[in-house]
């Protein structure tokens, strides 16, 4: 567990108290108040009580321990791919994916106006998403654990030339001057979040759904080809497939996958049965309604 800067801590304490007092409405997120995950929580469920957590593991633990009912976690960005470590945290969490949310990412440059901006602090993902703009303006990036957390840090700092890159509304939240908004390098900058709960909540029949799972292939020739054959022959659309190494051996490969559909559909059931036969392990992480249509 890390700590927030003074400008963020009083907001954190207020939001945590509200969420913990009503666990059914509590929605844990990683970051400081005003972070993109905070925005995603409020967009996903307008009745939710977002609860700030310093790290992803803290947000997951809040759900696993029963302090709040759900967490919302970013898993991938349209510019920079998957969020670091999330493929390890999700399977180990013991939680189920029960929803998804897509958030258009907007970044703004903000400071206390202590001289011309020469350094900008933010999360590594945000810095990467603004790297061309920063380079064009001769501003050096400074890594921080969170976007809004960086804004709070800058609000408490007397360092000349230091600014933060955060969602534009964070400037008002932390009493900073917003110098420019929309500094992200691409207009299609989008982050996908998943909502986690202790128990699965399968969508009602007829609702367009997604299913997410992890599998490990056998260490034999054409293992992945054989494992995925059932999805092709049964006409199941796989919208995401990412590999990652486990155990440090470079010989054990796991895959994270999303498919359109849900168990109970004959085509999906046949494809998953074939996958289970062809792999060393298969773990379903959740079935949930689509937040955006897939083919």
Residue-wise DSSP of 238-289? EEEEEEEE-TTSSS-EEEEEEEES-BTBHHHHHHHHHHHHHEEEEEEEEEEE
Judge whether 155 lies within some domain.
yes
Judge whether 202 lies within some domain.
no
Write down which residue in 197, 224, 249 finishes a domain. 197
Residues 174 and 117 in one domain: yes
Asked about 193 being catalytic, the answer comes back as yes
Residues 125 and 251 in one domain: no
CATH code for the domain in which residue 16 is found: 3.40.190.10
Of 29, 56, 147, 191, catalytic: 191
Asked about 191 being catalytic, the answer comes back as yes
Could you list the residue range(s) of the whole structural domain that residue 141 is in?
108-181
The pLDDT value given to residue 46: 97
Judge whether 87 lies within some domain.
yes
pLDDT per position as a tens digit, 108-146: 999 999 999 999 999 998 999 999 999 999 999 999 988
Judge whether 251 lies within some domain.
yes
Residues 238 and 259 in one domain: yes
Of 193, 213, 231, 255, catalytic: 193
Write down which residue in 170, 197, 224 finishes a domain. 197
Residues 162 and 193 in one domain: no
The pLDDT value given to residue 80: 74
pLDDT tops 80 at residue 79: no
- Residue 205's pLDDT band, with cuts at 50, 70 and 90, is confident
The pLDDT value given to residue 1: 54
Write down which residue in 197, 224, 244 finishes a domain. 197
The pLDDT value given to residue 195: 98
**pTM value?**
0.92
Mean pLDDT of 195-210: 94
Residues 193 and 86 in one domain: yes
The pLDDT value given to residue 250: 66
Residues 38 and 53 in one domain: yes
Judge whether 145 lies within some domain.
yes
The pLDDT value given to residue 206: 87
Judge whether 295 lies within some domain.
no
pLDDT tops 80 at residue 85: no
Judge whether 267 lies within some domain.
yes
- Residue 81's pLDDT band, with cuts at 50, 70 and 90, is confident
pLDDT per position as a tens digit, 250-269: 666 889 999 999 999 999 99
The average confidence (pLDDT) of the chain is 93
Residues 240 and 124 in one domain: no
- Residue 244's pLDDT band, with cuts at 50, 70 and 90, is confident
pLDDT per position as a tens digit, 285-294: 999 999 999 8
pLDDT tops 70 at residue 249: no
Judge whether 90 lies within some domain.
yes
Residues 227 and 285 in one domain: yes
Domains identified in the chain, total number: 3
Residues 92 and 12 in one domain: yes
Residues 38 and 88 in one domain: yes
CATH code for the domain in which residue 243 is found: 3.30.70.260
Residues 77 and 145 in one domain: no
C-alpha dihedral sign at 156, 161, 167, 172: positive
Residues 214 and 89 in one domain: no
């Amino acid at each position: 567990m890390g700590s927030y800067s003074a400008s963020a801590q009083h907001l954190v304490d207020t939001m945590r108290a509200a969420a913990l007092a009503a666990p059914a409405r509590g929605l844990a997120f990683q970051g400081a108040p005003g972070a993109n995950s905070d925005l995603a929580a409020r967009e996903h469920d307008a009745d939710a009580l977002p609860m700030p957590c310093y790290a992803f593991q803290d947000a997951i633990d809040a759900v696993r321990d029963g302090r709040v009912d759900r967490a919302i976690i970013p898993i991938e960005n349209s510019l920079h791919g998957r969020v670091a470590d999330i493929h390890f945290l999700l399977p180990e969490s013991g939680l189920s994916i029960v929803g998804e949310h897509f958030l258009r990412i907007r970044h703004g440059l903000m400071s206390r106006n202590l001289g011309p901006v020469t350094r900008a602090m933010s999360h590594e993902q945000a810095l990467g998403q603004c790297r061309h703009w920063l380079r064009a303006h001769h501003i050096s990036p400074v890594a921080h654990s969170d976007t809004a957390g960086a804004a709070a840090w800058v609000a408490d700092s007397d360092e000349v030339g230091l600014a933060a890159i955060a969602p534009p509304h964070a400037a008002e939240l932390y009493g900073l001057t917003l110098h420019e908004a929309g500094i992200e390098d691409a207009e299609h900058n989008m982050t996908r979040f998943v909502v986690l709960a202790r128990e699965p909540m399968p969508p009602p029949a007829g609702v367009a759904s997604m299913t997410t799972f992890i599998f490990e292939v056998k260490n034999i020739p054409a293992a992945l080809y054989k494992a995925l054959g059932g999805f092709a022959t049964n006409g199941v659309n796989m919208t995401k497939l990412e590999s990652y190494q486990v155990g440090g051996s470079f010989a054990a490969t796991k895959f994270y996958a999303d498919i359109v559909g849900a168990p109970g559909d004959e085509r999906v059931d046949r494809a998953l049965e074939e996958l289970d036969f062809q792999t060393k392990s298969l773990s379903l992480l959740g079935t949930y309604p689509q937040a955006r249509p897939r083919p």
